[in-house]
């Protein structure tokens, strides 16, 4: 549900508060401000409003948990234990991609320090917030890191897996916990990590 206030309040102010002075100056540039304003505008357009049905909320909530961090860990580790041969290699790649991308996300989150939309735009999230850091999305990164590795190795599953990962990322915006830019950057990190991991084999 959303509060009865102007969701555009606070435009023109930076949502990034890094502790590093050089990073703060970089993120306080007019270009970053314009991207941030656009990000918030898309968020207010796509977030689920208070008039949404319970079925809509349930759909996006289930989707976000199916592709959540813990689910991604399970999807990466179960094949690692059970698979053999070439499938075992794919499982190892997925596990490494998930681990490396997770470390990168946590490092960026705690250095960039972007406030969650709920702290700036007066929207309530429809699911619990894992932490106070918005950028980038850990869920979007986790599910894409596993999906990309499997899609790259099993081409027949490629588009369905990538579409599922994309929808999980979008669910984070729909449920009010991330800006679209958080999701996109998380997915880019996942794909870049996956390409790096695959290059080692």
Give a yes or no: residue 4 inside a domain. no
The answer to whether 119 and 132 are in contact (CB under 8 A) is yes
Give a yes or no: residue 15 inside a domain. no
At 6-47, the pLDDT tens digits run: 444 443 456 888 888 888 888 888 999 999 999 999 999 999
Give a yes or no: residue 99 inside a domain. yes
Domain that holds residue 83: 21-199
Phi, psi of 109 (to 5 degrees): -50, -45
Taking the model in full, what pTM does it have?
0.87
- For residue 115, the cross-strand partners are 133
At 87-141, the pLDDT tens digits run: 889 999 999 999 999 999 999 999 999 999 998 888 889 999 988 999 999 999 9
Give a yes or no: residue 195 inside a domain. yes
Give a yes or no: residue 167 inside a domain. yes
At 74-85, the pLDDT tens digits run: 888 887 777 788
Q: How many domains does the chain have?
A: 1
The answer to whether 104 and 189 are in contact (CB under 8 A) is yes
Give a yes or no: residue 8 inside a domain. no
Find the CATH number of the domain harbouring 179.
1.10.606.20
Give a yes or no: residue 7 inside a domain. no
């Amino acid at each position: 549900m959303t509060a009865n206030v102007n969701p555009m309040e606070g435009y023109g102010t930076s949502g990034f508060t890094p502790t590093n002075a050089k990073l703060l100056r970089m993120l306080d540039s007019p270009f970053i401000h314009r991207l941030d304003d656009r990000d918030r505008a898309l968020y207010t357009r796509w977030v689920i409003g208070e008039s949404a049905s319970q079925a809509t909320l349930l759909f996006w909530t289930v989707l976000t948990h199916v592709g959540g961090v813990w689910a991604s860990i399970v999807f990466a580790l179960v094949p690692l234990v059970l698979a053999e041969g070439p499938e075992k290699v794919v499982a190892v790649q997925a596990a490494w991609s998930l681990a490396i991308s997770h470390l990168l996300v946590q490092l960026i989150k705690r250095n960039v320090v972007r406030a969650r939309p709920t702290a700036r735009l007066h929207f309530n999230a429809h699911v619990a917030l894992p932490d106070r850091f918005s950028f980038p999305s850990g869920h979007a990164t986790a599910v894409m890191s596993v999906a990309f590795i499997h899609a790259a190795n099993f081409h027949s599953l490629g588009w369905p897996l990538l579409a599922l990962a994309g929808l999980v990322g979008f669910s984070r915006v729909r449920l009010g916990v991330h800006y679209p830019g958080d999701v996109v950057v998380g997915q880019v990190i996942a794909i870049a990590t996956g390409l790096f991991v695959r290059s080692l084999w």
